[in-house]
Structure 1
Amino acid sequence: MIALSTPVFVAMATLVSTALSAASAPTAADVIETTRLEWLSLPPVWVLVLVILPALVLVCRWLYLAEPSGGRARWLPAVLRGALLSLVLLFLFHPVHSRQRVRVERPVAALLLDDSASLREHDLADLASELGLPREAERRAVVAAALERPLAELSQDYELLLYSFGSSLRALGGLDDLAAADGETRLGDALAALAAEARGRELTQVVLVTDGRVNAGRDPLAALASLATRQVPVSVVGVGDPEVPRDVRIADVTAPEVALAGDTVTLEVSVAARGYGGDVAQLSVTHAETHEQLARVDVVLPGDPGSSEVAQQLVRVSFVPEIEGDVDLALELTHMPGEADDVNNSARHLLRVEPGRINVLYVEGYPRYEFRFLRDSLLRVENMQVQFLLLSASEDYIQDSSAGVDPLQRLPTGLEYLLEHYHVIILGDVHPQDLGPEHEQFMADVKGFVEAGGGFLMIAGERWSPREYDGTDIADILPVIIGEYEQEQGNVWDAGQAFRPRLARPRDPHEIVSLKPDVDANQQLWEGEGGLAPMTWYYPVAKVRSTA
C-alpha cells in the first residue's frame, strides 16, 4: 500500500495508461477485406513439376506429330488441343475465388476499484487539494478525480470493463457510482469472479485500485492463479496512507423517517473505531437548529487497543420528540485524542414528527380473551384513536371505539382510505372469508398499507390465524414463514404448559421486546418469576423470515 501524494497521482495516471498501452493492437475496431484465388485440389509442387507438366508437354508433342498436315497448319490444331487440355486440368484443380473480411476488435482491459467502507476515510488531504477537491474529501472522491482523465483517454483505444468490489464484484456504470458502503473487502473473490466473467474474452490487462485491506473471502494470491494461467498481467495501484491513522466514525445510521410526538424514537448507530478499542466516547443527538441535546450515551469503542483493523458495533440511542414538524437530528461522536480527522465523527438525519395520536383499526373474529383485554386497554390510552370491528357481532351491535370516534358499521376498504385514516391495523383470529366478498382485495390493500409504511399486527388464534392466511398477501408481510400446520404442530414443546419466552439477544434486544431501558431489568421482566405473566399457548411456525 502506498500513500498518494501529487507525484504519486501523476504516477498513478501514468501507470494506468502505460499498463493498458502495453498490449499492441490496432487503436480502432477496423475491418480488413482480402481477396484471393485458391486451388482446392492442387497437387503438391513436385507432382506438378515432375509429372503433370512433362506429361502435358509430351501430349502436346504427340498431338503435333500426329497432325498429318505440315508447316503452320500443323501447329495451330496442336496448340488448340493443348490449351483445351490445360484448361481441363485447371478445372480439375477446383479453382475458388474467396473474399475474407476480418474485424479487428479493440483490446479489452479491466479496471477493478475498491468500493469498501474504508474508501470513506479522509487521509488524502494534499492530493485532494491538487485535484481541486476539499481537503476533507473522501478517498473515493479523490480516486474518481484522479482516474477521470486517463480513463477518458484510454476508453478511445481500449474496451474498458469497469468494476467495483467489496462484498462482491459489480459492474460499474461510472466513477461517480462508487458508494464506499460495503463492510467487507473480498479481493480474492472479486478476482475469481472477474476471471470467470471474462472467460472466452482476450483480456490484455487488469488494473486494480485498492487500499490493500482484505478482511473476508479467499486468498487473493490463490485467486490470481486463474489469470496467471492466461498470462493476463495485473497492475496494482495503492490508495491511502501506509501509516494507518487512529480513527472513530459514525459508519451508518438507521432511524425512522416519521415518528409521533410523545413516542419514543430509537436510532441505531453503527460506530466504527480503529486503534481506540476499550476507550470511551460520547455519542450525542441534538436538534441541529436549536442545538438542544435530545440524548447522549457513553460508547465503549470496539476493537483492540492499538489495532490497525476497523471494528464496528451497534449502539442504540433513544429520545422522545415533543415538537411536531421536521427535526434535523445531528449525531456527534466526541473527538478522540490523537485522532487526525474528525469529519466522519458526525452524521445527520431528518425526522418528521407528526401529531401524537395513533389511529388503530382492530378487526377480530369473536370476543375471545385477547380481544376483551386489548379493547379495555386501548380505550384507556389517551393518544390512541381506536376503531374495533367484531365480525361475530349481530347487525344491531354498536361497535366499540375511542371517545369522539365514530363506530364502524362495516370493514373499511381501499388502500388510500386505509393510509389516510390509520397508522396501525390489528388483525385477530379471523377467517379470511369472514372479511367479506372482497376479502382478497382487502388483504392486498393491507399489504400495500404495510409497504407504504403502515404498521400491521396479527394476533394468532387457535381457529384461523395465521394458518388460513398461508399463500395470501397477508402471509407476505408476516415476519415468519407459516409452514404446514400439522407438521409444525408436532414440533410444539410441552403443549399446554405455562412458559416464559427467552430473549434471543438479551444484551442487545430488539426494540419490540425492549420494555425497559436497562437490559438486565428488561431480561428479568421477560424471563424472571416476578416479571410478565407466563404464556400458555403459541402458534408454531416454520421459521423466522430472513428480512424480519
Structure 2
Amino acid sequence: MSRSLKILLSLVDLAILALIAAILFAAFGLGDVISRVWSGATFSWDNFNPFSREPGLMGLTPLVWTALVAVPTALFVPVAAYWFEKKQVPVGVRFALVRLRALALLVLYLILAGPSLVDSEFYKEGSKVAVLIDDSLSMGTEAREFSIFNVLDDREADDIRRLREQLESQGLRIDNPASKGFVTLTPEELSVRNFVRQVVRERAQRLLKRLGELHGRRFDIAAWQLKRTEVERLQREADIKQSELSAELAKDEKLQDASTRRRLETELRAVLDRLAGAERSFSEQLEGDVRDPKILQKRALIGNLLETVHPEGPRRWDIACELVAPGNRLALPQGQSLSLIDLVRQRAEEAEAAGDPEKRSKRRPMPSVRYFVFSTKFGREVTTDEAILEVQPDDLDFRTPQGRLSEIDQALAEVRRYYTADDDLASIVILTDGRDTSGTDARDEGRRRVAMRSTKGKRSSEVVCVAIGNPKPVKVLELLAVSADKEVLKGDFVDFKLKIRADKGYRADKAGGRLGQRVKIILCEDSPGNPVVYDELNGRPVRGPADTEFELPEEELSECKVRFKPKTAGKHVYFLKLNDDRLPDEDTYRNNVAEHYLEVIDRKIKVLYIEQSFRWEARALNDALKRDKKLLYQGYFIDADEGWPQPTSNYDEEVKKQVKPLRNAFSDGARLIREKDEWLKLNYDVIILGDIDPDGREFRLEHWEWIEEWVSRNQGGLILLAGMRNSPRRYANFERAKALFPVEIENLPRDYDTRVDVTRMKYYRLTPAGRAHELMRLSSNQQRNDELWGSVVDGNFRRGQLNGYYWYAPGAALKPAPAQALVRVVSESQVTAEGDVLIASQP
C-alpha cells in the first residue's frame, strides 16, 4: 500500500471517528454544542431528526432506528459486499474501501435527514428622528417680528453694523427699515435679537454660496434687487393707470372724454411694455427659460435669500429652515458644538444605548433624520390629502410657506405612517409658530413633552416643540372678512360688514372690570393710503375721529358695520383697516387690512310691475313706485279699463317723456312684443308679479319661460306677491312658475281659504337671515330696525312700530337651501312655534 493511500485512509478513519462522536453528541444535544461554537447560529433538521427521543415509526424513537438500524447497516453492507465478492482484492485495500463506503452511507443517511445550520447576524439600526416644519402662511411674510436692522438699544449697534457690512460685502443691498425709536431691551430680548442676526448671517452666506453653485459663478444679486425695485414701481404705476382708465370707462358714454380715454390707454400700454421688458431682464440674468425647473429653483432660492435679508427682518420660515439645515451650528448647547438636529439625534442614541441589553449588537450607518413640512394641502404645488409632505433637506431652500392651517395633531398622527413597525422613532421635532392651528395649540405642546406610543407599543417617542417667533406673548387682532354689496346706485348707501377676531388680551372683561381695546376703523377708497370719511359706524353718526373707534366686546368674534355713500360712479376698490399700525404686542398688522370691490352705478333701476286688479296692496305699491326718483317704473294692471293710461314714473317731466305707458304686459310701450329675445333686450332690473290669473289671455304660460330665462341670463330680481285669488294657490300645476317660487306650493292645506283669521292682526318676526338681509333693513342701526319690525323678548313677541296685516298665504313650506325664510308670521303673544313663512328669498 502506497504512502499516500495510507494517509488517505487515516483521514477517513478520523472522519468516521468524528462522525461517530457527533452522533453521540447529537444524542445528548447537538444544537447546544453548535450554539456554543457559533454564537447566534441555529442547527436544525429539515426532514427528520435522527436523534430524537420522541416515538416515531413502529413506536420506536428515531435515535433507536439510528443506533440499531442505520449505523449497523452502514457498517454491515460494505463488509458483506466485499466478503462475498469473487474478485481478488488485497486485504488492505478491501478494508480501506469498506471504511470509505461505510462513511459514505452514514453521511448519506444524515444528509437525508436534512441538517441545517443558520448563522444569523443582528444589526440594530440607529434611532430615527422626524423633523416637522410648519409651512403655513403664518410662517411667511405675514409676520416679521424681529426688526434686527433697527437699532433699538445701543448695545446692539455694533452687531447690526457688522451684519450690514458683511452682507453688503457679499453683494447684497440692505435697505433702511422704518424707524422704530429706542427702547431698553431686557437681556433675554437682546439675546434673541442677536441670535436672529446670527441666523440671517449664516443663512444668507449659505444661500449665496448655493446660488453661485446653481448659476455656475457668482450671481449679481445687487443687480437683481435693483430690477425688482423697478418692477414693483412699474406695477404700482400700472395699477394707478388702470384705476384711472376704469373710472373713465365706467362713466356714461355721453360723459366720456375720448381724448382722455385714449391718453390713459396709451399711458397704460407704455407702462405695461416697460414692465414686460423688466420681466424679460430677469430671464436674461437667470440665463435660461423661466419654465425650466432649474431656473425656477434658482428664482425660488433668490426669493428666499431676499426674504431672509428683508429690512423688517426674516420670516419665521427662514429661521425654522436654517435651524434644521445640515451642518449648521446655530443651536449650540452649553459646552458643545452641535446643531439642533445633532443634539436631538445624540440624545436619542444615548437613551437607546442606556436601555440596550444586547452588548454584541452591531449598528450599521443609516440616514436617521427625515424631513417633513406640514399644514393643509391648499396652496402646495404637490396636492395631497395628508397634512404632511416629506421633503429633502436641501429642497427647503426652494420652498415657501403656503398652507392655511398648521394642523399639528394631524401631522403627529400621520408622520408615523412613514415608519415601519420595526423602526425606532425616538424623537419628533416640530418647528412651528403655533398660529392658525386647527388642533392643539403649539404653546401647550411646548410646555410639555408628549409621549406618543409607537406602533409596537414598546417605546414612546419624544416630541420636542421648537417655538418660532417672539418669545414674548403676542396677541392676535385679525380682520377676518368684509362683506358688502357688489353694486350700488350712486346716491345710495353701502354697508360694509366687518368680522373681527381678537385675542382675550384685547377683549373686554366685565367680570374683571376691564374695557375692551378701542380699534379705529379706517375706510380707504382705491388706495390703502387714501382714507375717506364715512357716515355711520354701527348706526352712530360719525362726526369726528372719536366716532370712528370700535370697542372690542367680550366675544372672540365680533362684527361692526360701516355705512358709506360713494360719491364717484365707476368701479372702485375699498380698503377696510383696523388702526393705522399694529397695537402693542400685536402679532402682525398685515391681517388688519381687507379689500372689497364695488361698482357705483350712475343710472336708475328699471322696474316692471304686472298686477291683475287694483287691490289695496297694489294701489299702495303702485303709488310708491311712481314717486321713487331712483326708478324708471312701468306698471300694467290687466283688469284696467280699456283706454286707461297704465302707470309710470311721474316725479319729473323728463322721466315722463322717457318712460312710456305699456299697452300690454309684454310690450315696449308702443307695440306688443311676441319674441322672447326682443323682450329680454328691454333689460329690466326688477320685475314684480302680483296676484295674476294664470288662465288669463294677457299673461300666458310661455311668459313664465321668458321670465325664467330673464332671471338666469340677466340676473334680474324677481318679486312674487301672494294674493287671495290666484297666487300662489293656482300655480301648483305650472312647473316653470313653481321653479321660481322660494316655497313649495304643491301641497297647500285644504282649508287654505279659511285657515287665516282675517279679523286678527298679525306681525313680522324677522329670522336671523332676515335680520342680516338688505331687503329687511329699514335702518342701519339694528336696535332701530328691531323697534320698527318688532322683536322677541323673553319668549314673547313684542310688536314693532309698523302696522301689521290680516291675511297671508298659509301653509307654504320653505324649499331646501339656498332658499331661506326672512320673515315668519307671528301674533303679539308667546312664541311657541316657528310660524308660517311670510317672506322668503332664493338666490
Task: Name the TM-score class by shorter chain.
Answer: 0.5 to 0.7
Flag the 1:59–1:271 CA change in 2: closer, same or farther, 3 A. same
Match of 1:322 in 2: 567
Q: Deviations over 1:301-320 (max 9, x none)?
A: 2246xxxxx93311111112
State the 1:500 CA deviation.
1.7
Q: 2:375 aligns with which of 160, 163, 169?
A: 163
Match of 1:195 in 2: 413
* Contact 1:481–1:545 (CA under 8 A) maintained in structure 2: no
Aligned residues: CA RMSD = 6.2
Q: Deviations over 1:150-174 (max 9, x none)?
A: 78989997473633499xx973787
Match of 1:514 in 2: 777
Unaligned runs of 5+ in 1: 1-37, 96-103, 305-309
Rg (Cα) greater in structure: 2
Distance of 1:323 and 1:395 partners within structure 2: 45
Distance of 1:66 and 1:134 partners within structure 2: 101
Q: 2:492 aligns with which of 243, 263, 277?
A: 263
Match of 2:523 in 1: 285
Amino acid at match of 1:264: F
Flag the 1:50–1:457 CA change in 2: closer, same or farther, 3 A. farther
Q: 1:446 aligns with which of 698, 711, 714?
A: 711
Flag the 1:218–1:336 CA change in 2: closer, same or farther, 3 A. closer
* Contact 1:125–1:135 (CA under 8 A) maintained in structure 2: yes
Amino acid at match of 1:377: A
Alignment coverage as a number of residue pairs: 474
State the 1:64 CA deviation.
2.6
Mapping for residues 135-534 of structure 1, pairs under 5 Å: 142-147=315-320, 158=370, 160=372, 162-164=374-376, 171=387, 175-179=400-404, 191=409, 195=413, 202=420, 204=425, 206-212=428-434, 227-228=452-453, 230=455, 231-245=460-474, 250-274=479-503, 275-276=505-506, 277=508, 278-288=516-526, 291-295=531-535, 297=537, 298-303=548-553, 311-335=556-580, 339=584, 343-344=589-590, 345-360=592-607, 370=617, 373-386=620-633, 403-404=658-659, 406-407=668-669, 409=673, 412=676, 421-424=683-686, 426=688, 436=701, 443=708, 446=711, 455-460=717-722, 465=728, 482=744, 485=747, 496=758, 497-504=760-767, 510-527=773-790, 531-534=801-804
User: For 1:227, what is the secondary structure of its paired residue?
Assistant: strand
Flag the 1:495–1:507 CA change in 2: closer, same or farther, 3 A. closer
Flag the 1:218–1:50 CA change in 2: closer, same or farther, 3 A. same
Match of 1:63 in 2: 77
Match of 1:132 in 2: 308
Amino acid at match of 1:526: W
Flag the 1:532–1:143 CA change in 2: closer, same or farther, 3 A. same
* Contact 1:114–1:165 (CA under 8 A) maintained in structure 2: no
User: For 1:382, what is the secondary structure of its paired residue?
Assistant: coil
* Contact 2:721–2:727 (CA under 8 A) maintained in structure 1: no
Distance of 1:207 and 1:514 partners within structure 2: 54
* Contact 1:429–1:459 (CA under 8 A) maintained in structure 2: yes
Unaligned runs of 5+ in 2: 1-42, 54-61, 117-124, 149-195, 201-306, 327-340, 342-366, 379-384, 390-398, 509-515, 538-547, 650-657, 661-667, 791-797, 821-843
Distance of 1:315 and 1:482 partners within structure 2: 36
Q: Deviations over 1:21-79 (max 9, x none)?
A: xxxxxxxxxxxxxxxxx999523474499577665444343433443325699969x96
State the 1:441 CA deviation.
9.3
User: For 1:502, what is the secondary structure of its paired residue?
Assistant: strand
Distance of 1:517 and 1:481 partners within structure 2: 28
Amino acid at match of 1:287: E
State the 1:534 CA deviation.
0.6
State the 1:525 CA deviation.
1.8
Flag the 1:498–1:481 CA change in 2: closer, same or farther, 3 A. same
Match of 1:12 in 2: none
* Contact 1:133–1:142 (CA under 8 A) maintained in structure 2: no
State the 1:361 CA deviation.
5.5
Flag the 1:338–1:476 CA change in 2: closer, same or farther, 3 A. same
Distance of 2:734 and 2:462 partners within structure 1: 53
State the 1:94 CA deviation.
13
* Contact 2:428–2:463 (CA under 8 A) maintained in structure 1: yes
**Identity of aligned pairs, percent?**
21
User: For 1:501, what is the secondary structure of its paired residue?
Assistant: strand
* Contact 2:522–2:531 (CA under 8 A) maintained in structure 1: no
Q: Which has the higher helix share?
A: 2
Match of 2:222 in 1: none
Amino acid at match of 1:69: E
Amino acid at match of 1:160: F
User: For 1:259, what is the secondary structure of its paired residue?
Assistant: strand
Distance of 1:39 and 1:397 partners within structure 2: 116
Distance of 1:114 and 1:233 partners within structure 2: 22
Flag the 1:336–1:343 CA change in 2: closer, same or farther, 3 A. closer
Distance of 1:486 and 1:164 partners within structure 2: 48
* Contact 1:273–1:301 (CA under 8 A) maintained in structure 2: no
Q: Deviations over 1:489-517 (max 9, x none)?
A: 99x99754322223456997543322123
Q: Deviations over 1:464-513 (max 9, x none)?
A: 549978998999998x77598468999x9975432222345699754332
User: For 1:256, what is the secondary structure of its paired residue?
Assistant: coil
Flag the 1:193–1:117 CA change in 2: closer, same or farther, 3 A. closer
Distance of 2:466 and 2:585 partners within structure 1: 24
Distance of 1:471 and 1:62 partners within structure 2: 111
Distance of 1:152 and 1:365 partners within structure 2: 79
User: For 1:421, what is the secondary structure of its paired residue?
Assistant: coil
With 109-118 and 524-533 compared, the bigger mean Cα shift is at 109-118
Flag the 1:57–1:246 CA change in 2: closer, same or farther, 3 A. closer
Match of 2:805 in 1: 535
